[in-house]
Structure 1
Amino acid sequence: MKPLLLLLTLMTFAVQAGLITEERRYEVNGKTYRGYLALDDAAPAPLPGVLVVHEWWGHNDYVRERARMLAELGYAAFAIDMYGDGKTATHPDQAGAFAKASLASLPEAEQRFNAALALLAADSRVDGSRLAAIGYCYGGGVALHMARAGAQLQAVASFHGSLAPKADPLPAHSPVAIAVFNGAADPLVPAEQVTAFREEMMNANADHLLVNYEGALHAFTNPDADRTAAEFGLPLAYNQAADRDSWQRLQTFLKEKLEPENESAQ
């Protein structure tokens, strides 16, 4: 069943010269979701599009900042809402409940993701044939699941996200290129999961990149991780070196997979 998508409102405001953001409220099967589009209005259109999936905390300032960072690189970046009405959590118990509820029905979770992807692809400023998705923590697991589920994407990247399949593993000869940036010391992604992911990618003959950052813990890209770890006793830590390196590698990855000149050279 295809998701019922209805665009409700569109609000635009300038952030800096060339860079604009648009908050979009839309409906999927009668429920309201809040997305956040960022792009450089001075960049030559149509732009490649990138969905950005939030951490288990929900659609907060962090995921919007990542969308703006992608916009500065020349992408139309859409920070999506997997929980509904843009809600966010302030406590790990609440975040865990939100995340669990959002994935209780994988078909419904896929509808929410695909609705946001369709909204991005339909934008006149976006090239719907050049689409990617990236995600952080919870969002990384969602992005990987959508690659496994056959979403219409050219590339997917996960930052400190779960690597275990939520349903079927990646099918053989999947056209989606996959990049994973993982903390080697992350107890939430044990070594056995990393090994199983490598085997899954090899069995599928997948175009993939796996980078394990020695000593990096969960949420290594988020500067607020240390504060959150201290407040709630969680195994999190910001790692500036891993954050910078993974972001640089993401730029190379997206350029290789989404730039038209690279496609024509193959």
Structure 2
Amino acid sequence: MRRLILAIVLAFGGLAAVQAAIKEGPVEYKAGDTVLKGYLVYDDATQERRPGVLVVHEWWGHDQHARNSARKLAEAGYVALAVDMYGGGKQADHPDNAGKFSGEVRKNLPLMKSRFEAGMQLLRKQPQVDEKRLAAIGYCFGGSVVLEMARAGEELRGVASFHGGLATEHPAQPGKTKARVLVMNGAEDPFVPPEQIAAFKKEMESAKVNYKFVNYPGAKHSFTNPDADANGAKFNLPLNYNAVADKESWLELQSFLKQIFKQ
């Protein structure tokens, strides 16, 4: 009996030790004179260098949703950095502010690149990271950001967009996009109409980009964010969390990351 109790204690103790191995916390870095406030998460149970993944937030700004995704990536064996694209960790409390903050970045590609690349440099410098194996994922505004960075030729193995905008003023050019591209879209998302999807697919195919487009039936905008329904009701916006699409898109991402990081 004593041996059984000891075995149970050791088993639960070992589990707690594994869970406690996830290290996370805020980090500050700069793009020019702008202080950016990100969130770094990794598992210190191993000393091996592993792939790094940047997480770009929704138009609300760097928030808990982005941090939760970074934590899930760390639990899956990656080093994840939830970046700050607005500066100072700024968050929007109203769609008007969210539109203003995101618009300032979306309309200024050099600014977007500088802030994104600042996050890349920080992630590359982490001792746990294999600097040759980097990827980026993004949600909503963040999805459009990672697609723009792929179009711009950033040194990434792949980018994945969750319910992000697909339109661009800087379409992909043949031979320039190095990253593989995964787009996970809500089939009922009014912010991404069929003509935008068709234009995106044509763009990717014309530029010979290795891409995959997944449409989730019944899913609307912000389908991965559990706070979407509350925000939608509060501001009268077509935002809805979809548990099925959330789960399936995360599994799709896991498969994608394994593929691009194989070598």
| TM-score (normalizing by structure 2) | 0.90
- Counterpart in the other structure of 1:183: 186
Map 1:60-209 to 2 at 5 A.
60-172=63-175, 174-209=177-212
CA contact (8 A) 1:33 1:81 kept: yes
Alignment pair present for 1:210 and 2:210: no
**Which of 170-179 and 143-152 deviates more?**
170-179
| Corresponding residue pairs, total | 247
| Per-residue Cα deviation, 1:192-250 (whole angstroms, up to 9, x for no partner) | 01111111121122211110111211001111111111111101111111110000010
Distance change in 2, residues 1:15/1:23 (3 Å): farther
Alignment pair present for 1:232 and 2:235: yes
When you count strand as a share of all residues, which structure comes out higher? 1
**Residue 171 of structure 1: CA displacement?**
3.2
Counterpart Cα distance in 2 of 1:203 and 1:27: 36
CA contact (8 A) 2:171 2:203 kept: no
Counterpart Cα distance in 1 of 2:214 and 2:47: 32
- Counterpart in the other structure of 2:21: 18
Gaps of 5+ in 2: 1-16
RMSD: 1.5
**Residue 175 of structure 1: CA displacement?**
2.6
**Residue 169 of structure 1: CA displacement?**
2.2
CA contact (8 A) 2:155 2:178 kept: no
**Residue 16 of structure 1: CA displacement?**
4.3
**Residue 44 of structure 1: CA displacement?**
4.2
The ranges of structure 1 where at least 4 consecutive aligned residues each deviate by more than 4 angstroms after the TM superposition are none
| Per-residue Cα deviation, 1:149-203 (whole angstroms, up to 9, x for no partner) | 0111010000000011242324347331100000111110000011111111211
**Which of 236-245 and 134-143 deviates more?**
236-245
Counterpart Cα distance in 2 of 1:205 and 1:124: 35
**Residue 108 of structure 1: CA displacement?**
1.4
- Counterpart in the other structure of 1:6: none
**Residue 66 of structure 1: CA displacement?**
0.5
| Per-residue Cα deviation, 1:16-35 (whole angstroms, up to 9, x for no partner) | 41100131111211111101
Secondary structure, counterpart of 1:96 in structure 2: helix
Quick one: which of 39, 43, 63 aligns to 1:40? 43
**Residue 103 of structure 1: CA displacement?**
2.7
| Per-residue Cα deviation, 1:47-67 (whole angstroms, up to 9, x for no partner) | 100000000000011100100
Decide which structure has the larger Cα Rg and report it. Answer: 2
Secondary structure, counterpart of 2:58 in structure 1: coil
User: 1:101 is matched by which residue type in structure 2?
Assistant: E
Gaps of 5+ in 1: 1-13
- Counterpart in the other structure of 2:3: none
Counterpart Cα distance in 1 of 2:197 and 2:47: 39
Counterpart Cα distance in 2 of 1:118 and 1:171: 26
Secondary structure, counterpart of 1:21 in structure 2: strand
CA contact (8 A) 1:173 1:205 kept: no
CA contact (8 A) 1:145 1:166 kept: no
User: 1:50 is matched by which residue type in structure 2?
Assistant: V
Counterpart Cα distance in 2 of 1:43 and 1:219: 34
Secondary structure, counterpart of 1:212 in structure 2: strand
| TM-score (normalizing by structure 1) | 0.89
